[in-house]
Amino acid sequence: MPTPGPITPPIQPRQQAPVMPTYTAPQPSYQIPSQAQSPAAPARIATEPMLVIDNTAGTIKASGEASGQAAGTPGQSGAKSAVAGTRTGAGVLSNKATTVPQGTLIPAVLETALDSTSPGLARAIVSRDIRGFDGSRILIPRGSRLIGEYGSDTENGQKRMLVNWIRLMRPDGATIAIGSPATDPLGQGGIRASVNSHFFERFAGAILQSALDVGVNLASRAADSQVIVALPGNVSGAARATSPATIKPTLKVKAAKSISIFAARDLDFTGVENR
């Protein structure tokens, strides 16, 4: 029998180290906005009226009005009526050859002097031919006569006299009511006049009363006194007696002064030109 050799212990299977489970901590999630978000703007409330043009109704209205109410009716504020109002249609002069349009300056020369001490009438002569709108006819020939009127109501600081021309008479006998104001040759309202402000009449009483008060106090003061006092009550009483507000300035304009008449309306001579 064979001799048994040394007994080799059996090889134990290699044991692997226990595998520990891995743990991955969750990553925190952050929501990063791409851009800063501004708070939502509050709803805009219309506080001012908007202008709405309604072509179907033919009127201009402001927001907030009733649909059947036209804007610009009488009684509204001036700012609103200046923007909104009924539309006016364009027209055409029917008689261009025999119409002097509104805004024409008619040069003239005064025949009478003017004095605002009392109201009165004035007369002037047209110094240049005035033609119609199309320039084909002379409607107001040179030498036509103007009749006007002026008042006596003047104000402190006023330097121009106001004259209203009421009638124009042509050399051929044709006449028309013009109802237009007087201007200077450049179209400025009124006729420049010489002004008498009545300075001495307005202040002479107060000056004289003040002088008398000083004289009386000077005569009645003590011999050793060096102080002279004028009583203010007497001075104010004299000033009230001759108040400047009660005396108005007087305006005067000499004859032969060059003026203009601003046509305040269309002057239609059709009735006298086509006869």
pLDDT at 30: 55
Between CA 73 and CA 66 the distance in angstroms is 13
142-146, long-range: CB < 8 A, 24+ apart: 143/171, 144/168, 144/169, 144/170, 144/171, 145/169, 146/106, 146/108, 146/178, 146/261
pLDDT tens per residue across span 128-172:
999 999 999 999 999 999 999 999 989 888 999 999 999 999 999
- pLDDT-based confidence at 64, cuts 50/70/90? very low
pLDDT at 191: 96
Q: Which domains does the chain have, with CATH numbers?
A: 99-195+251-273 (2.40.128.260), 199-246 (no CATH)
pLDDT at 227: 57
pLDDT tens per residue across span 103-124:
999 999 999 999 999 999 999 9
pLDDT at 203: 64
- pLDDT-based confidence at 256, cuts 50/70/90? very high
- The answer to whether the Cα torsion of 218, 221, 226, 231 is positive or negative is negative
pLDDT at 121: 97
pLDDT at 73: 46
Single pTM value for the model: 0.57
Asked if 63 and 50 count as a contact pair (C-beta separation under 8 A), the reply is yes
Report whether pLDDT(208) > 60: yes
pLDDT at 246: 74
Report whether pLDDT(37) > 60: no
Calculate what percentage of the chain has a pLDDT beyond 70: 52
Between CA 181 and CA 58 the distance in angstroms is 35
Report whether pLDDT(90) > 70: yes
pLDDT at 247: 80
